[in-house]
Amino acid sequence: MRYFRRPLAQMLIWCLRSREVDNFTYPLTDGNISYLAHTIASVTGVSFTETSSYVSEVLKDAELKRHLLSGISASRYRRSSDGCELGRRIGWYIFVRVLRPRVIVETGVHFGIGACVLCSALLRNRCEGHPGQYYGTDIDTDAGFLLTEPYSTVGKILYGDSLESLKTIPQIDLFINDSDHSAEYERREYELILPKLSQSGVILGDNSHDTKELAEFSATHGRNFVFFKEQPAHHWYPGAGIGISYPRIAEPAPSQY
């Protein structure tokens, strides 16, 4: 009961106060954020100091937080009290800042919280002389309502089946799978984007806590794979994570640190 008491109390509060029924938003524990920064530093070959600086950068981004809260407040799906905590999307942001990708693709957009986080990183990259473009795909034409200016200046959503949308994109530097969470569909996305991946292309799996598709895909195609497990703070949900598939020989962008 000592183990379950806190999650049960948090679940009761969620039942009474929240409209969130999926895609839960929550902060990560301080220790878990530190592990995330360490994990990405190890994968990309940059310093922990650099990845930690990007954590601070996104968490202190007042414009991004204001934009997300404003959009959520106007939404019929959530109350503003549900917040806009970023969870594992902090890791997505760090990858964009470190890798400086020219093309990011995310399949499955939902409200567009992740899309805005990714585009926020792209806007900072552009200011530093490294332009990039975000493409989200979703079968739901109501998805991505949070992706408005200034974030829409570097991002757009392709509506329709993600497999069909992916066929129209010639090259991908950073791919995030977050669409149909069946193992078969996830596998089909990876196989489809494989020839489109740049030499240093990275794949992030948002379903790797539930399936082993990205791990098996990585083993089959001679890629490294690691999994980062979330540890939410102040929430009953046990957390998901980030599956990370990356080339055996990494070529990190030059570091300023």
For residue 252, tell me if it sits in a domain: no
- Number of folded domains that form the chain: 1
> pLDDT (tens digit, 9 = 90+) per residue, 203-222?
999 999 999 999 999 999 99
The answer to the question of residue 142 being in a domain is: yes
Residue 49 has pLDDT above 70, yes or no: yes
| Digit-coded pLDDT (tens) for 72-113 | 876 666 554 556 899 999 999 999 999 999 999 999 999 999
In a domain? residue 177: yes
What confidence tier does 249 reach under pLDDT thresholds 50, 70, 90? low
**Would 254 be classed as within a structural domain?**
no
Do residues 100 and 12 make contact, with C-beta atoms less than 8 angstroms apart?
Answer: no
At 5, the pLDDT band (50, 70, 90 cuts) reads confident
Kindly report, residue by residue over 148-162, the tens digit of the pLDDT. Answer: 999 999 999 999 999
% of the chain surpassing 90 pLDDT: 77
Residue 47 lies in a domain: yes
Least confident of 1-5, 132-136, 228-232: 1-5
pLDDT at 231 over 90: yes
Q: Phi and psi dihedrals of 83, rounded to 5?
A: 75, -175
> What does the pLDDT read at residue 93?
98
Which residues neighbour 92 within 8 Å (Cβ) at sequence distance 6 or greater? 114, 117, 118, 121, 176, 204, 242
Residue 257 lies in a domain: no
Q: What is the pTM assigned to this prediction?
A: 0.91
- Residue 253 C-alpha from the chain's centroid: 20
**Residue 100 domain boundaries:** 5-247
Write the CATH number for 207: 3.40.50.150
